[in-house]
Amino acid sequence: MTNRIDPSDCSDSLEWLPVGLGLPIPCRVLLLEDNGMDADLVREHLLMIDGHDFDIQRVDTRQSFIDAVTEGGPYDLILSDFDLPDFDGMSALAIARDRLPRVPFIFVSGMLGEENAIEALKKGATDYVVKLRMERLQVVVRRALVEARDRNELADKRKALAESEARLRFALEAGGLGSWELTLATDRLHVSAICAANLGLPDPSEIATYDMLLDRVHPDDREYQRAMVRQAVSTGSALDMEYRTIWPDGSVHWVQVRGRGVYDRDGIPTGLAGVSLNITARKKTEERQFLLLEELNHRVKNTLAMVQSIAKQTLRATPSAEVFPDAFQSRLRALAQAHDLLTRRQWQGASLSEIAALTLEPHVDAGRVRVGGPPVKLATGVAVSLHLAFHELATNAAKYGALSDESGRIDLIWEIMRDATAGRCNGGHIGAGIPEPGQGALVLRWRESGGPPVVPPTRRGFGSRLIERGLAHELEGDVALAFDPAGVRCRLVIPLSSRVSPQ
């Protein structure tokens, strides 16, 4: 049977509470007792304990005790008789210790004998009270509750600390952060596995001292590292520094270290503690960003210079101010097209076929232009220069040459010649840079046919000067431009190099 004893049945007021202590502490008690009078006696003594509000659940059989322990609770205290008709207190103790190990278990027994008490305490009982000395129950229960509360609070704090440490370890591992602690008196350094890995070391014991750490620091950064550590210890300021380290394979890496000093009660520094992070990837990214900014600045300057040159040359070559806007805008669009293509290629250059198609694709689709040759990769500057040259040739062909007549055609063919002298231009403007024998060269040929007869110009316009002078200078090659009556001819011989190379 199970019988719940309510303290309110025995008192009409709360005058038993001590003044000034506020609300009583609730306390659930599981009482294993087969004798009703003894159960009432226990209840009366519990009610005499100040500052607690006892809720007592009484059981008197083995099964009811097991059910209460398994499904009831939570309990703050278990009180048990030592000898029951179908059960014994030691068995109840074993069940309680297995199911509710943190709950105090006190025997309240009518059986005398030190042997029973000693055996019970050995088995895990909190205390042993003889019914003939029931007044002792109050002291025993009060002490047991206080000790249990302290133990539970300590256990909860330890659990919370362990969980916090686990979360911290997870956060450190997820962020690639290594922890470290330096003891100043002994120069001993305790580091985590991640901290050692940030220095390229598989075993933390390889940097067990500060001097062993300094051996891993780049020679040019060691004095800086020492100075930052001294400053953090002497001033109490946060340690925050970045320096290079040399890994066992000789490679150089960057590490960021943050920490603070550790001090005793008298304010004397005893050590440093903090975290480390491998920032090599970030440093490489920053270096690349800096180079990209420098490259962007260089390209902007070059582009502005090219726009300025196009404006001057176009203005000089146009017969009237009314014609200037269309000519200038056309050349700016050609420049923008080249930049768009290079941007899509992340400014890593472009292929010769892409540059040719960029200008001549509409005419290629119409069957008016034939473009062909082996794969050739062009650097950024070469790609822009060739595109502008093709644009000028195509514009001239559309106005006056092969593309101005429905029967006209253009052939843009190129080849790689390993004997550079074989591709040397005969006639026309010769550039300053002639390929050395055996160096090899890219030879491009522009040939118009089927158009109206070509009349040589009386003066060189912007397009001619761009091709004959600017292109020859930019590409360090030979350029020959001829205004043959059958069609314009242009031949370019460009030495093979890192800027112009077969794919």
Q: Three-class SS of residue 309?
A: helix
User: What gap in Å lies between CA 331 and CA 334, rounded to an integer?
Assistant: 5
For residues 370 and 62, give the distance between their C-alpha atoms in angstroms, rounded to a whole number: 102
pLDDT for the residue 6 = 44
Which fold would CATH assign to domain 175-278?
Answer: Beta-Lactamase (3.30.450)
Residue 99, Cα to own-chain centre: how many angstroms?
46
Q: Phi first, then psi: what are they for 242, rounded to 5°?
A: -130, 130
Coil/strand/helix, residue 351: strand
Fill in the amino acid letter for 479: V
In one letter, which amino acid is 189? Answer: L
Cβ atoms of 469 and 431 within 8 Å: the answer is no
Residue 231: CB partners within 8 Å, gap ≥ 6? Answer: 237
Q: Is the peptide bond before 269 cis (omega within 30 degrees of 0)?
A: no
Q: Residue 129: beta bridge partners?
A: 108
Q: What is the reported pLDDT for 149?
A: 84
**Which of 111, 124, 121, 127 lies closest to 79 in space, CA to CA?**
127
CA 215 – CA 198 distance, rounded (Å): 14
Are 181 and 163 in contact by the 8 Å Cβ rule? The answer is no
Which residues 6+ apart lie within 8 Å of 204 measured at CB?
A: 190, 191, 192, 193, 195, 196
Q: How far is CA 381 from CA 184, 304, 473, in A?
A: 59, 14, 12
Contact 217, 243 (CB under 8 A): yes
CB neighbour class for 222 (10 Å; exposed up to 12, middle 13-18, buried from 19): middle
Token pair belonging to 33 = 């007792």
Where helices occur in 57-108 by DSSP H, the ranges are 62-71, 89-99
Tell me the longest C-alpha to C-alpha distance in the chain: 136
| Torsional class of 373: left (φ above 0), alpha (ψ -120 to 50), beta (otherwise) | left
For 209, the 3-state DSSP assignment is strand
Q: Give the domain ranges of the chain.
A: 2-155, 175-278, 349-502
Give the bridge partners for 56, in sequence order: 5, 29
Phi, psi of 494 (to 5 degrees): -115, 125
d(CA 333, CA 354): 17
Are 313 and 466 in contact by the 8 Å Cβ rule? The answer is yes
CB 27 within 8 A of CB 77: yes
Alpha helices in 345-414 (DSSP H): 352-365, 380-399
Would you call 369 helix, strand, or coil by DSSP? strand
Kindly state the helix (H) or strand (E) to which residue 276 belongs, with its residue range.
strand 269-278
- End-to-end, the C-alpha distance of the chain in Å comes to 94
Strand, coil or helix: 349: coil
Q: Looking at the domain 2-155, which fold is it? A: Rossmann fold (3.40.50)
376 in Cβ contact with 417 (< 8 Å): no
Spatial distance between the Cα atoms of 5 and 486, rounded to a whole number of angstroms = 122
Q: Which CATH superfamily is domain 349-502 in?
A: Histidine kinase-like ATPase, C-terminal domain (3.30.565.10)
Which pLDDT belongs to residue 1?
47
Cβ proximity of 437 and 421 under 8 Å: yes
How high is the mean pLDDT in each 10-residue block of the chain (503 residues)?
A: 44 39 82 91 90 91 91 87 86 92 90 81 90 88 87 80 68 72 93 90 92 94 94 91 93 93 89 91 85 65 60 66 74 68 68 82 69 89 82 80 84 84 44 54 92 81 69 81 91 90 87
